[in-house]
Structure 1
Amino acid sequence: MAAHYQETGVRSFKGNPFIEALPVLEERKEQFLTELSHYPPRPTIKDRQAGDVSRIMELSILNDIVHPFPEFQKAGLALATIIRQSYIGRNPLTVIDRQRRHAMASHQGATGSGVPFPRDWTSSARGHLIMGISGMGKTTFATTFLMRYPQVIAHTCYQGSNLVCHQVVFVVLRVPHDATLRSLCVQFFEEIDKALGTNYVRQARSVHQIAPMVALMNHVATAVSLGFLVIDVARQLSWPVRVNYLGRLTLGNLLS
């Protein structure tokens, strides 16, 4: 999707193309519920008079119903805030962010050689945890919420300044069946490649340890201006993995 910029009305978002290219913010909190809801058309008299088999087949439409719980309003507001807040510290038009990107691209910022990493830069990315019993609608909420956002935004020019880049707004990861962190990390690169047509996964599969793979994720997340990372069904990971490693994969850590 080509970028179309709109002012948000929020002072801290002003002049940031990555934020102004996102969908317009809701004006009222109640809109998070109405926009997440989905109800299929009511059955007509003709539908009710159809044969038994046809009516049984029509029952599958019940799977399309999305009835938002009141908790969805709070979660929707939190996610809308997190997506935008993650870009506050990564305005591509600022000198400090350009210096950060050059340092990350050189792979030398942390060693003190090449382009130095700006000491004054701090990540504005945050995390959010949604917990609940199986079947209460966590995945449905996340899927429905993200449908409002384009996954990739193509920038070419912003207010007369050249800005040629792709912005990956979100990536959704689902814990694989083997429940290993390595498979989850590889899936990250696969999803980026699927969205952009790149081939990061080839490099990722040549890495056999978690620490350098997470470092590579850091570089890729910076290169594609990732806004939001969703990890679904985290409970499938073993408890030691959840405690010791999952925190490394939050966007705040990937962009630190």
Structure 2
Amino acid sequence: MKKEAIYRKHPLDSLNGNPLTEAIEVIAHEDELNKKLTFKPTFEKNLTDIPAVYQQVFLERLEKVHVPAPYLYGMYNKFVGLILDGYSKYTPHSAETNKLQMAIALAARKGERLEEEFISRTTAPSVFVHGHSGVGKTKGIRSVLKVIPQVIKHNKFEDKIFRQDQLVWISLDMPSTPSTKGLALNFFNAVDEALDTDFYEQWKDKSHYSVERHLSQMQSIAVAHHLGLAHIDELQFMLKYKNSKNAPSFTTIEALFNKLGIPIVLSSTTSGREMFLSDTKSPDFTITRRLLTNREYQFSLYGVKSKFFNSLFDALFPESFCKSSEMPDKQFKQVFCYLTCGLPAMMTRLAILHHESIAMLKNKYPDKADTYRTGDVERLHKTYNNQFSLIAGALDNLRAGNIQQFDEDVNKLDEKEHVLTNEEVKLAAKAERKKVQKLLPDVVPDPLGIPRVCMDIDSKDMLNFIKEGYDE
């Protein structure tokens, strides 16, 4: 959605006199940002007091619950700071900018990559965000970006005609296959969604065009619309095709954005980060380290005592959903934390499925309605066992500290490569647990009565993680 430009002076003189910077509105206070980022739907009735179809409407609202993670305010400041700093280093009407735009447009028409000698801008920095699958990286990053207007429509600035759609930011995924052209198509699709253009339709059937032609078209669009920041997600996909000749590389990413003065935000799973940084023999390693010279953010698991966990838990189990006698207690919360491993995505899914199970039972057996309680720990376990069989093996690996295997399991599920039945998945998970127990033979009872292996996640003992929690 395009937003008409409203120009504001900034307290730094270097950010004034430029339509690209003056059009950026800054949220200066954390409370104001958190208010924009938070979504906790209100429920005027008890879930089981309304017909089943309306119960589903209630549960759909829970799916959209969002509680800002503790580091999103710092991330917002970083993103906006990078955007403003990048824009402040050039003006859209300058001869230098016009020369660069013409050179890139000419290179795009010829299907060639622009030579670096024509690029006079300072190489922009990069931010790296990582964390376990399901911990809320992508949702967090994109929720912050959505607070920043994506497209600003200019008509006139300081009594001079300036007709331009300014593309402040863009967010796209790395391709899951080793294809640089696939990266270009993802970029075109993201641009189309923002600007209401049709670049994807123009290019999706042009596989016969060279890679250089695809990349030069990306650069042309970025410079023509004054792209301020690019977010590239699923960076761990590069691990699967790092030895492929046609795959996008760090060199490609740097040339596309950083060299043009466009800062980028890279996001990856934790295992992806470790493998990137350990690959010191890769020809891309120098560029990799250069790309990771700015801020690094790590999204961690959340313990039962953390402010974020409790805020999200309260939003997922609102008092208006059930009677006070049915509300979850401390033990329920601990079991919930254990089953979901403190992952926001798992917390949301399990909460919705648990509410749905309780409602279905009350609807089916109204004479026994009082025996089905939201805070029933045994019922929570049954919901998990019935509905999480496909992901349970991955979560077992996470609890056991097998982070890389956890990420690989989740990626396979995301790509729909799992062809096992639910029962076969359970058997595979059981075999995996036995293998872990041989490596870590010190078995202790869980305070909740759940037998498990001593675990180490993010250098924290899982027993303390469940029982005591830790601050973020």
Fold match (TM-score > 0.5): yes
Read off the aligned partner of 1:222 and give its amino acid letter: V
TM-score (norm 1): 0.80
Alpha-carbon deviation of 1:192? 2.4
8 Å Cα contact 2:122/2:261 also seen in 1: yes
1:223 paired with 2:224, answer yes
- Provide the C-alpha distance between the structure 2 equivalents of 1:144 and 1:122, rounded to a whole number of angstroms: 29
TM-score (norm 2): 0.46
1:8 corresponds to which residue? 10
Alpha-carbon deviation of 1:4? 1.7
- Provide the C-alpha distance between the structure 1 equivalents of 2:258 and 2:5, rounded to a whole number of angstroms: 25
Deviation per residue, 1:84-143 (Å, 9 max, x gap): 22212232133432333333334499679xxx947xx32363321111111111121122
Read off the aligned partner of 1:9 and give its amino acid letter: P
Deviation per residue, 1:131-170 (Å, 9 max, x gap): 1111111121122222223332221210011112221122
8 Å Cα contact 2:121/2:259 also seen in 1: no
SS in 2 for 1:25: coil
- Provide the C-alpha distance between the structure 2 equivalents of 1:207 and 1:19, rounded to a whole number of angstroms: 39
Read off the aligned partner of 2:103 and give its amino acid letter: A
2:128 corresponds to which residue? 129
- Provide the C-alpha distance between the structure 1 equivalents of 2:123 and 2:218, rounded to a whole number of angstroms: 18
2:142 corresponds to which residue? 143
Alpha-carbon deviation of 1:46? 5.7
1:86 paired with 2:92, answer no
8 Å Cα contact 2:123/2:260 also seen in 1: no
1:185 corresponds to which residue? 184
Report the identity percentage.
22
Alpha-carbon deviation of 1:57? 4.6
8 Å Cα contact 1:229/1:250 also seen in 2: no
Cα RMSD for the two superposed structures? 3.2
2:20 corresponds to which residue? 18
Deviation per residue, 1:204-233 (Å, 9 max, x gap): 835644344323322221112111212222
- Provide the C-alpha distance between the structure 1 equivalents of 2:153 and 2:250, rounded to a whole number of angstroms: 36
Deviation per residue, 1:31-56 (Å, 9 max, x gap): 44343222111x23465633466445
- Provide the C-alpha distance between the structure 2 equivalents of 1:168 and 1:245, rounded to a whole number of angstroms: 23
Deviation per residue, 1:63-90 (Å, 9 max, x gap): 2111112122221211121222221223
- Provide the C-alpha distance between the structure 2 equivalents of 1:3 and 1:252, rounded to a whole number of angstroms: 26
Say if 1:181 and 1:53 are closer, same or farther in 2 by CA, change over 3 A: same
Read off the aligned partner of 1:230 and give its amino acid letter: H
- Provide the C-alpha distance between the structure 2 equivalents of 1:194 and 1:111, rounded to a whole number of angstroms: 29
SS in 2 for 1:214: helix
Aligned pairs (5 A) from 1:130-209: 130-178=129-177, 180-201=179-200, 202=202, 205=206, 208-209=209-210
Read off the aligned partner of 1:251 and give its amino acid letter: F
More deviation, 156-165/24-33: 24-33
Read off the aligned partner of 2:16 and give its amino acid letter: K
Say if 1:158 and 1:215 are closer, same or farther in 2 by CA, change over 3 A: same
- Provide the C-alpha distance between the structure 2 equivalents of 1:53 and 1:100, rounded to a whole number of angstroms: 57
Instruction: Give the structure with higher Rg (CA).
Output: 2
- Provide the C-alpha distance between the structure 2 equivalents of 1:199 and 1:159, rounded to a whole number of angstroms: 32
- Provide the C-alpha distance between the structure 2 equivalents of 1:186 and 1:164, rounded to a whole number of angstroms: 27
1:69 corresponds to which residue? 69
1:28 corresponds to which residue? 29
8 Å Cα contact 2:154/2:162 also seen in 1: yes
Count of aligned positions: 249
SS in 2 for 1:128: strand
Say if 1:56 and 1:239 are closer, same or farther in 2 by CA, change over 3 A: same
Deviation per residue, 1:5-24 (Å, 9 max, x gap): 111222221111012112x2
- Provide the C-alpha distance between the structure 1 equivalents of 2:190 and 2:154, rounded to a whole number of angstroms: 20
8 Å Cα contact 1:8/1:20 also seen in 2: yes
Say if 1:159 and 1:200 are closer, same or farther in 2 by CA, change over 3 A: same
**What runs of 5+ residues in structure 1 fail to find an aligned partner?**
none
Alpha-carbon deviation of 1:185? 1.2
- Provide the C-alpha distance between the structure 2 equivalents of 1:253 and 1:190, rounded to a whole number of angstroms: 22
More deviation, 161-170/53-62: 53-62
8 Å Cα contact 1:29/1:77 also seen in 2: no
1:101 paired with 2:101, answer yes
Say if 1:175 and 1:203 are closer, same or farther in 2 by CA, change over 3 A: closer
1:233 corresponds to which residue? 234
